[in-house]
Structure 1
């Protein structure tokens, strides 16, 4: 797989990711009150993530800025890894596709973090507007838009279960976006097809 095809894959994923995020951001009110139930186990709703996966945040006044800058350095490193894998190492298509997915997902969420704070107003109790007069944040302080929710089943844990007995359990509880799916798929390819992913092609093939 050459760089042109890798870039095309990245471009398509970024377009799909950003179109879905902008649509959700401008057509949904924040939280479950504005959700659409596709099925009992698939719902679409708008939430915004200020931190990393699972809402993890870096504490402190400048935590969000530090996180965004870290993401920029990380995606730069992933981009170099992609270029190096194609141009110099003659790596397998499994590896190239996996890196491309991870790069596209990371870049998609970075766009939210860098730009969304200055182009959208708030989604709490009202529909957000694009290119807002009164944006909700500043540069590098945007919130990542998530919308895909798959609560496959929900139950109360038996009282005999240690620590969590009697509490409510929901699977799958995460809410995510297209960029997150791309990252997870890329990582999954590296794990499941590890030997094929890191098998180098003979030079000239």
Structure 2
């Protein structure tokens, strides 16, 4: 696959990701939910840290996380360029492009959203507010909105530790960028032999 085709994938994912996030940020109050189906909702939440809402403690924790993400995106970009240069399989280049697009989509939130938007707590945020954003550069929150509570209910009493507790499956709220990263990783796992044909052949000979 050519770098041009990989770039088209990246641009499409970024457009869908950022359009959806900007729409949610400028039309929803934090915590607002629209139930589309019983198993799917649009739920506006913001992620201040890593996956599953994990945070790095300390005054510079958020800054460190954003800089780490930038370094990771730079590494993925080189991996993509090198794979195209070596004429690697289309499945590998596609997977890397999806992972790169997703990582870059969330980086945009972390770097710019604190400056570009108002706080969404109890009001719909304004884009480029006159009084400034809710945080400084590199301190933005990632916008999430896709929620799939496939099953909700009380667990049977016989289950150890959690018996009788209210349980939701699947509870995490995510976005298009997260989806792109997940699809890229899943493709690599499912089509490992096609993605890395030379490595697999060498392992078979040894």
TM-score of Structure 1 vs Structure 2, range by shorter chain: over 0.9
- In the alignment, which of 164, 172, 175 is matched to residue 173 of structure 2? 175
Q: Distance in 2 between matches of 1:165 and 1:45?
A: 27
Q: Quick check: 1:121 aligned with 2:118?
A: yes
Where do 1:149-160 residues align within 5 Å? 149-160=147-158
TM-score between both structures, scaled by the size of structure 2? 0.94
- Structure 2 residue aligned with 1:203: none
- How many residue pairs are counted as aligned between the two chains? 197
Where do 1:1-205 residues align within 5 Å? 1-31=1-31, 34-87=32-85, 89-133=86-130, 134-200=132-198
Q: Distance in 2 between matches of 1:167 and 1:35?
A: 23
* Structure 2, gaps ≥5 residues long: 199-206
Q: Deviations over 1:32-63 (max 9, x none)?
A: xx211111111102100001111111111111
* Structure 1, gaps ≥5 residues long: 201-205
Report deviation, 1:110: 0.1
Q: Distance in 1 between matches of 2:170 and 2:162?
A: 17
Higher helix share: 2
TM-score between both structures, scaled by the size of structure 1? 0.94
- Structure 1 residue aligned with 2:202: none
Q: Distance in 2 between matches of 1:163 and 1:7?
A: 48
Q: Deviations over 1:96-134 (max 9, x none)?
A: 000000000000000000000001001111000100123
Alpha-carbon RMSD: 0.9
Query: Following TM superposition, where does structure 1 have runs of at least 4 consecutive aligned residues deviating by more than 6 angstroms?
Result: none
